Amino acid sequence: MNFIVITKFIFVYYLTGAVETTPVSAPENTIFLKMPSAAPFLPHLADPNSLRVKIHTPVITGSQYPATLVFGIPTAEREGVSYVSDTLQSLLRESARVEDLLDCKFIVLLASVDEQYVESTYNQIKWKFSSEIEKGILQVISPNKAYYPDWSTLPIRIGDPIERVHWRSKQSLDYALLMEFAKTQGTFYVQLEDDIVAHNTYISQIKKYASKMERKKQKWFVSDLSSLGFIGKMFHSYDLKYMIQFLVMFYNDLPADWMIDPLIESKFCNLEQKFQCKETKNLLWPKHKPSLFQHRGTVSTLKGKVQNLKDPFFE
């Protein structure tokens, strides 16, 4: 079994003040200030095991080199059904040529603390996609149980029922963990879900689309490859740190897809110039048409929720 300790997203060295610096001597009438730590956001991460991520798949020689595209796919328990194998079948076999996959990585996060679920789901994936695992194209990871907070202590936000608050808060933390793990593994990162189907030329279309924007020297922060929620959100890997910060700071306050707009506003806009800010957001947040991913699941990871959303722009 392989383990990797992922660096704390924003302020790891200052978590709960665990790392102290020895002040040098200072003149009279001066004091040393200490900047805020991450403790107010995720105090439970002071547990040294909380960011220890288990890598289920073997580390393949050569797979450490950065890919062009990295796809992150979180999966968790659903009542009576699992979609992740069908999603991987679409991504890795039905909608991609072998040569297209060679500079891509797919990272599945088994986002559960139920060891039986994690092991059984990994075994299913390993049995069906052993070839992709052996080539280093497919990785499977899972979090330490200490990574998640005590859900019973989370305050209610935006009027959601407590079950929904827990569900979307966990989803944001799952995205943050995936992004942190993936951010050094490729040029671009694409966030997916475990219940989607891909366009039959999705990899070549993404590469052409990204290359076109690079040739035009078009500045962008996030691009929509689907019109639904966080599905198909593509980032430059070097920009993931900003998304991770927002996910960690506001995981209990907002759904993940609601964070992108204020993130772009705070980073790129002069809020006193609202019209110019709207233009800036449109430039920094381009949309690919048609959509390259379609939602196809109906049983949500939120217990009791039926999800019938379909992307009208998917062909």
pLDDT in tens, 33-58: 666 555 567 888 888 888 889 999 98
In a domain, 301, yes or no: no
Which residue carries 């593509």 as its tokens? Answer: 234
Q: The CATH number of the domain where 165 resides is what? A: 3.90.550.10
Q: In the structure, what pLDDT confidence band is assigned to residue 5 with cuts at 50, 70 and 90?
A: very low
In a domain, 314, yes or no: no
Give the mean pLDDT of 252-268.
93
Token readout for 208 is 């052409």
Query: Given a cut of 60, is residue 73 above it in pLDDT?
Result: yes
In a domain, 307, yes or no: no
Predicted pLDDT of residue 34: 64
Residue type, 36: P
In a domain, 303, yes or no: no
Q: In the structure, what pLDDT confidence band is assigned to residue 10 with cuts at 50, 70 and 90?
A: very low
Which residue carries 């799952």 as its tokens? Answer: 174
Predicted pLDDT of residue 288: 96
Give the angle subtended at the CA of 278 by the CAs of 271 and 314, to the nearest 5°: 140
In a domain, 300, yes or no: no
The domain tally of the chain equals 1
Regarding predicted confidence, which is higher, 19 or 56? 56
- pLDDT digits 0-9 by tens, 150-175: 888 887 777 788 888 889 999 999 99
In a domain, 105, yes or no: yes
Query: Given a cut of 90, is residue 21 above it in pLDDT?
Result: no
Predicted pLDDT of residue 3: 47
Query: Given a cut of 90, is residue 14 above it in pLDDT?
Result: no
In a domain, 249, yes or no: yes
CA dist 315 and 312 (Å) reads 8
Predicted pLDDT of residue 65: 72
Q: In the structure, what pLDDT confidence band is assigned to residue 59 with cuts at 50, 70 and 90?
A: confident
Query: Given a cut of 60, is residue 17 above it in pLDDT?
Result: no
Lowest mean pLDDT among 46-50, 67-71, 82-86, 247-251: 46-50
Q: In the structure, what pLDDT confidence band is assigned to residue 103 with cuts at 50, 70 and 90?
A: very high
Query: Given a cut of 70, is residue 259 above it in pLDDT?
Result: yes
Query: Given a cut of 80, is residue 60 above it in pLDDT?
Result: no
- pLDDT digits 0-9 by tens, 168-212: 999 999 999 999 999 999 999 999 999 999 999 999 999 999 999
Per-residue three-class SS string for 221-265: CEEECCCCCCCCEEEEHHHHHHHHHHHHHHCCCCCHHHCHHHHHH
Nearest to 194 by CA among 46, 89, 266: 89
Predicted pLDDT of residue 297: 80
In a domain, 315, yes or no: no
Query: Given a cut of 70, is residue 63 above it in pLDDT?
Result: no
Query: Given a cut of 80, is residue 113 above it in pLDDT?
Result: yes
Q: Domain of 178?
A: 2-295
